[in-house]
Amino acid sequence: MIISAMVAVGENNEIGKDNDLPWRLPNDWAYLRRVTMGHSIILGRKNYESIGKPLDGRKNIVLTTNKDYKAEGCHIAYSIEDALSKCEGEEVFILGGEEIYRQFLPYTQKLYITKIHAPFDGDRFFPTIDYSLWKELSVEKGIKDEKNHYDYYFHVFEKIK
Ligand SMILES: NC(=O)c1ccc[n+]([C@@H]2O[C@H](COP(=O)([O-])OP(=O)(O)OC[C@H]3O[C@@H](n4cnc5c(N)ncnc54)[C@H](OP(=O)(O)O)[C@@H]3O)[C@@H](O)[C@H]2O)c1
Tens-digit pLDDT profile for residues 127-142: 999 999 999 999 999 9
Mean pLDDT computed over every residue of the chain: 97
pLDDT band at residue 143 using 50, 70 and 90 as cut-offs:
very high
Distance CA(151)–CA(132), nearest Å, equals 24
For atom 26 of ligand 1, the residue with the nearest CA is 64
Tens digit of each residue's pLDDT (9 = 90 or more) over 71-102: 999 999 999 999 999 999 999 999 999 999 99
Which amino acids bring their CB within 6 angstroms of ligand 1? 7-8, 15-16, 19-21, 44-47, 50, 63-66, 78-80, 95-100, 103, 124
* Domain over 2-159 is classified CATH 3.40.430.10: yes
- 11, 17, 64: which to mutate for ligand 1, most atoms within 8 A of CB? 64
- 4, 13, 14, 15: which to mutate for ligand 1, most atoms within 8 A of CB? 15
State yes or no: pLDDT of 161 exceeds 90.
no
pLDDT the model gives residue 110: 98
Distance CA(13)–CA(128), nearest Å, equals 8
pLDDT band at residue 19 using 50, 70 and 90 as cut-offs:
very high
Ligand 1 centre and the CA of 48: distance in Å? 8
Q: Kindly write down the DSSP assignment for every residue of 91-135, as one continuous string.
A: EEEE---HHHHHHHGGG--EEEEEEESS----SEEPPPP-GGGEE
Give the residue-averaged pLDDT of 131-157.
97
Ligand 1 centre and the CA of 123: distance in Å? 12
pLDDT the model gives residue 120: 98
Where are the domains positioned within the chain? 2-159
